[in-house]
């Protein structure tokens, strides 16, 4: 008993000694200058990550702290610009006003020039857009966002073009050239690799897989990037590798139903019908209204001549989308069938 009390006394003495001389110092209050710099740093990170709502929050606070600071004004304007596409209340005139104020004191500010080009483009002023982009390139030919924006313009032209096919292909090539430039300037720009992958996929060019693989090295936890890697690998018939990717995704993203659905499609293609049924059913457990999985199960039951189950699945599809053409076609064919 005495031994235990002695040990407890020694322990208390040690604790007491260890806390002496370690008093908490006064909490330093953040100065307006340090707060401004911290907020600007956060705004730049959010800008790079394309998290524009968060960027607007911090850049607006920074601008309120120092409305005479050019950098605060610039990032506030860029945040307003990039959130304006989802907010009809934001006036492009406000964005332009702030960008012009920046350019008044720094006429070669490439961020502001690209910002003004973006406004001009969304106001359908093509000539003004091109003039501003030329000016931006003259100011800084190695500024990545110039080529990112220009590439996005030509990608949009490619996707919306309804004229001659040769012209459409030309838009795609120009988009690719611009995004290729983005990753040459910034080899860590993972969105550039992802977009290049998508554009090469449009060309039915297996090079897309290489770009998706590179994007994954930077964004291994990004669901969209991982899915494109797996889907492109599947599309070009490397089923073993695609299945490996989808299995890994199913573990990491169990609520992402497309991993299960595409596994079902691969097994169906490989004639492993029971496995295909299993994965389509797993898809429907995650998303009970997944039309493709539902329709494909109907097709499998039809192939097995289990017409009752086939029609049940087709009926479920048409409850969700009465005009889903693939299912309408199968139901029409089954109705004409002589039982």
pLDDT in tens, 137-175: 999 999 999 999 999 999 999 999 999 999 999 999 999
pLDDT digits (tens, 9 = 90+) for 196-229: 999 999 999 999 999 999 999 999 999 999 999 9
Tell me how far apart the alpha carbons of residues 314 and 297 are, in angstroms, rounded to a whole number.
9
- Provide the 8-state DSSP code for 163: S
| Virtual torsion, Cα 252, 257, 258, 262, nearest 10 deg | 100
Sign of CA pseudo-dihedral 307, 310, 314, 319: positive
Handedness of CA 210, 215, 218, 222 (dihedral sign): negative
CA-to-CA distance for 43 and 53, rounded, in angstroms? 10
User: For residues 251 and 258, what is the distance between their CA atoms, to the nearest angstrom?
Assistant: 13
**Model confidence band, residue 87 (pLDDT cutoffs 50, 70, 90):** low
Q: How far, in Å, are 80, 198, 202, 223 from residue 195 at the CA level?
A: 24, 5, 11, 15
Q: Where in the chain is the domain with CATH 1.25.40.10?
A: 35-141, 254-339
**What is the pLDDT at residue 300?**
97
- Rg of the chain over all Cα atoms, to the nearest angstrom: 29
What contacts 290, CB < 8 A, 6 or more positions away?
A: 257, 261, 283, 284
Q: How many CB atoms lie within 10 A of CB 322?
A: 9
**Mean model confidence pLDDT for the chain:** 91
Task: Estimate to the nearest angstrom the gap between the alpha carbon of 247 and the chain centroid.
Answer: 21
The residue with greater pLDDT, 108 or 88, is 108
- Quickly state the pLDDT bin for 2 (edges 50, 70, 90): very low
Please tell me the distance from the alpha carbon of residue 113 to that of residue 12, in angstroms, as a whole number: 67
Report how far residue 112's alpha carbon sits from residue 119's, in angstroms, rounded to the nearest whole number. 11
List, for residues 52-77, the tens digit of each pLDDT value: 999 999 999 999 999 999 999 999 99
pLDDT, tens digit (0-9, with 9 covering 90-100), for 239-253: 999 999 999 999 999
| CATH (residue range 35-141) | 1.25.40.10
**CA 252 – CA 263 distance, rounded (Å):** 15
pLDDT attached to residue 62: 96
* pLDDT over 90 (residue 339): no
- What's domain 254-339's architecture? Alpha Horseshoe (1.25)
H helix runs in the chain, sequence order: 2-19, 32-48, 52-65, 70-84, 92-105, 110-122, 126-139, 144-160, 165-185, 190-202, 207-218, 223-235, 239-252, 257-269, 273-286, 291-303, 307-320, 325-336
State residue 27's pLDDT score.
Answer: 55
Does residue 20 have a pLDDT over 90? no
Instruction: Give yes or no for residue 21 having a pLDDT over 70.
Output: no
8 Å CB contact between 200 and 186 = no
């Amino acid at each position: 008993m005495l031994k235990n009390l002695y040990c407890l006394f020694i322990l208390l003495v040690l604790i007491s000694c260890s806390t002496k001389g370690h008093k908490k110092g006064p909490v330093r209050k953040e100065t307006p200058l340090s707060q401004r710099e911290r907020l600007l740093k956060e705004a730049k990170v959010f800008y790079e990550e394309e998290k524009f709502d968060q960027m607007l929050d911090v850049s607006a606070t920074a601008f309120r702290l120092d409305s005479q600071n050019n950098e605060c004004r610039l990032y506030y304007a860029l945040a307003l610009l990039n959130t304006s596409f989802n907010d009809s209340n934001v006036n492009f005139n406000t964005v332009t006003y702030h960008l012009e104020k920046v350019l008044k004191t720094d006429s070669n500010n490439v961020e502001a020039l690209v910002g003004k080009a973006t406004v001009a483009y969304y106001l359908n002023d093509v000539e003004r857009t091109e003039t501003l982009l030329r000016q931006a390139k003259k100011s800084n030919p190695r500024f990545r966002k110039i080529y990112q924006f220009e590439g996005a313009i030509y990608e949009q032209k490619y996707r919306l073009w309804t004229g001659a096919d040769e012209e459409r292909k030309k838009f795609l090539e120009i988009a690719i050239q611009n995004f290729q430039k983005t990753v040459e300037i910034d080899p860590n720009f993972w969105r550039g690799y992802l977009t290049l992958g998508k554009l090469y996929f449009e060309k039915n060019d297996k090079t897309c897989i290489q770009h998706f693989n590179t994007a994954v090295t930077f964004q291994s936890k990004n669901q969209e990037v991982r899915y494109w890697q797996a889907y492109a690998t599947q599309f070009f018939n490397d089923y073993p590798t695609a299945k490996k990717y989808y299995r890994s995704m199913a573990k990491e993203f169990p609520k992402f139903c497309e991993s299960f659905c595409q596994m079902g499609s691969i097994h169906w293609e490989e004639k492993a019908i029971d496995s295909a049924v299993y994965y389509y059913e797993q898809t429907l457990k995650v998303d009970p209204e997944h039309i493709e999985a539902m329709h494909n199960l109907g097709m499998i039951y039809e192939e097995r001549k289990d017409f009752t189950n086939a029609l049940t699945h087709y009926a479920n599809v048409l409850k969700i989308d009465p005009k889903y053409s693939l299912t309408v076609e199968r139901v029409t064919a089954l109705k004409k069938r002589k039982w």
